[in-house]
Structure 1
Amino acid sequence: MTTRREILIGAGAAAVGLTAAAGIAEARERSETHPKVALLGTGIMGSGMVRSLRKAGLPVTVWNRTAAKADALRASGASVAQTPEEAVAEADIVITMVFDTAAVEQVMARALPAMRPDAVWMQSATVGLAGVRELSAKVDRSIAYVDTPVLGSKDAAEGGTLIVVSAGNAAGKARLQPVFDAIGDRVIDCGTQPGEAQRLKMVVQSWAMSVTSATGQAVALASNLGIDPNGFLGAIKGGSQDCGYAHIKGEAIMKGQFDPAFTVEGAVKDTALVAQAMTESKTDPALMQALNAGYREVAASGRNKDDMAAVFFSFKD
């Protein structure tokens, strides 16, 4: 016969079990809605993304090779790690936003072994077609690799209005949704194969690099012909040839304001990646190679950290 004491002990144990189960469920739900994020690379784009993530209430740990750039984000509520290993150790999601493929490889050689086996790697650096193949091949654990370049510059990163381009494992992308919601206002799903997102990024960059160079060329030509460059922007405004990007970059050139939204050195790298993608896809790369030469000329003059609108100086003698 079961005693009253045994009944009470059983009830207490059941209550403890229910409480533990509830705690586990609550922790799981929180990790899905407010995942712990590690962001490696706090340059122009990375720092803006961190601020957007923090505004959305996501816990973020940051690391940057230049420590001062990471330290500046303490004011946003981000935690600052001294090493990549420390940054990723407890993260549900690891975002790489460093300069190029070589930089991603260097940081992830340290970070990958320290990541949790169920973490998601959101690779957001622009690395091109060869780069994404190299990086995705390095993930041989249960970590999900999601190819996730973003479209937009400094203001969009700061304002949480980037366009997110994503390709990879469906479950991995689903877990990234809180990050997508925080940093962007639109997501373009490119399917399940890593690399498809980088392909679209190459197409978009081919356009952005071309428009910026064309704008610099037009403003330089107007100036050299003795015409007010404002006349160029006024002539295209509202017509079929109009382009918002031309006004943004053209007005910056005319004001002599080259604070970087996207740097000349970034344009050098991306025009080279686009030219490589063109060659691989049997698309004539001649124009992109010429644009790359213009950006390289300006970078060599000491303007590599200026906004890419400084390509204007490659046309202005």
Structure 2
Amino acid sequence: MIAFLGMGLLGSNFVKALRRKGETVQVWNRTASKAKALEADGAVAFEQVADAVRGADRVHIVVKDDAAVDEVLANALPGLQPGAIIVDHTTTSREGAIARTAAWQAKGFTYLHAPVFMGPANALEGSGFMLVSGDQSLIAKMEPLLAPMTGKLLNLGDETGRAAGLKLIGNLFLVTFTAGLADTFALAKALEVPVDAVADLFKVWNPANTLPTRIQRMTGGDYSKPSWELNMARKDTGLFMQEAAQAGVPLNIIPAIAKVMDQWIAKGHGDQDWTIIGSAALQ
């Protein structure tokens, strides 16, 4: 029997998917009505978290952050049966995941951090990615149970906390990617280019296809054979800001990047590949 704690959009769809597979699921949420709503799908809702986990072999949790995970699990402890396995899908700090793995082991329970790159639709249909790392014997035991919940279960090795770290890194990329698109749309507005035209361009010329090559160039350590000189990239960055300023459209990310470019140019790297601006993070 499974208990699921946290009935937000992700958690509730995980529960619906589990119920469609015929699993018995007990649910809890801080706002009790959200858990109660899952009874229409055959889940059993409880107002007290300790009651929700009672009798469960597996306890899944997906809440806001480290503090919420610690609080909810502490309140659940009186109801946990010996040997229960806790699977935490919350995006948390690396340190928190490591500490909880050890703390719950000391209490006689198993804790596995399994964050996801999944939206609510993915949770419902069993697609997307779930990350795990740590005790490989535990992961081998859990893989048949977790794999059906996701499109791909990624085993990242035996280092506890690696899954938490790569989840944060992935989310950082998503944040910067979206922020970059926001500036892209802002420049399009300044230049009176419809967003549809931008989307059409990216359908034909997809910058995401260059990501492996970009990573290789950035991490190679040799910036002396530029495909785009830093001076030229900075010139274009100046044009972005000039066009946006003339149209009264703010850019949020590009000005900060321009400052970093200026710092590297001042150090004499203007004729090198522009990806040198990321080299400091690789040292």
The Cα shift of 1:172 comes to 3.1
Q: 2:93 maps to which residue?
A: 128
Any idea what the Cα deviations from partners look like across 1:122-142, whole Å, max 9, x if unmatched? Answer: 011000212213322321133
Any idea what the Cα deviations from partners look like across 1:220-279, whole Å, max 9, x if unmatched? Answer: 321233221111111111324158xxxxxxxxxxxxxxxxxxxxxxxxxxxxxxxxxxxx
Which residue of 211, 218, 226 corresponds with 2:192? Answer: 226
How far apart, CA to CA, are the structure 1 residues paired with 2:150 and 2:29?
Answer: 22
Specify the SS of the correspondent of 2:207.
coil
The Cα shift of 1:175 comes to 4.0
What amino acid sits opposite 1:87 in the alignment?
A: A
1:237-276 alignment runs, 5 A limit: 237-242=203-208
How far apart, CA to CA, are the structure 2 residues paired with 1:177 and 1:76?
Answer: 25
Does residue 166 of the first structure (1) align with residue 121 of the second (2)? no
How far apart, CA to CA, are the structure 2 residues paired with 1:82 and 1:175?
Answer: 31
What amino acid sits opposite 2:194 in the alignment?
A: D
Any idea what the Cα deviations from partners look like across 1:54-109, whole Å, max 9, x if unmatched? Answer: 12221111100011111121121111111110011111111110010111011011
Does residue 101 of the first structure (1) align with residue 66 of the second (2)? yes
Q: Which runs of 5+ in 2 are unaligned?
A: 210-252, 257-283
Does residue 141 of the first structure (1) align with residue 93 of the second (2)? no
What amino acid sits opposite 2:59 in the alignment?
A: V
Does residue 67 of the first structure (1) align with residue 32 of the second (2)? yes
The Cα shift of 1:178 comes to 4.5
Aligned length: 211
How far apart, CA to CA, are the structure 2 residues paired with 1:215 and 1:110?
Answer: 42
- Write out the 4+ residue segments of structure 1 that deviate beyond 4 Å after TM superposition: none
Tell me, yes or no, if the aligned pair for 1:37 and 1:95 is still in contact at 8 Å. Answer: yes
Does residue 176 of the first structure (1) align with residue 128 of the second (2)? no
Query: Could you say if the C-alpha distance between residues 168 and 242 of structure 1 is closer, same or farther in structure 2, counting changes exceeding 3 Å?
Result: closer
Specify the SS of the correspondent of 2:158.
coil
Q: 2:54 maps to which residue?
A: 89
How far apart, CA to CA, are the structure 1 residues paired with 2:129 and 2:154?
Answer: 7
How far apart, CA to CA, are the structure 2 residues paired with 1:167 and 1:37?
Answer: 22
How far apart, CA to CA, are the structure 2 residues paired with 1:185 and 1:170?
Answer: 20
Which residue of 192, 196, 209 corresponds with 2:175? Answer: 209
Query: Could you say if the C-alpha distance between residues 93 and 175 of structure 1 is closer, same or farther in structure 2, counting changes exceeding 3 Å?
Result: farther
Tell me, yes or no, if the aligned pair for 1:146 and 1:194 is still in contact at 8 Å. Answer: no
Specify the SS of the correspondent of 1:103.
helix
Q: 1:251 maps to which residue?
A: none
How far apart, CA to CA, are the structure 1 residues paired with 2:177 and 2:71?
Answer: 33
What amino acid sits opposite 1:155 in the alignment?
A: A
What amino acid sits opposite 1:57 in the alignment?
A: G
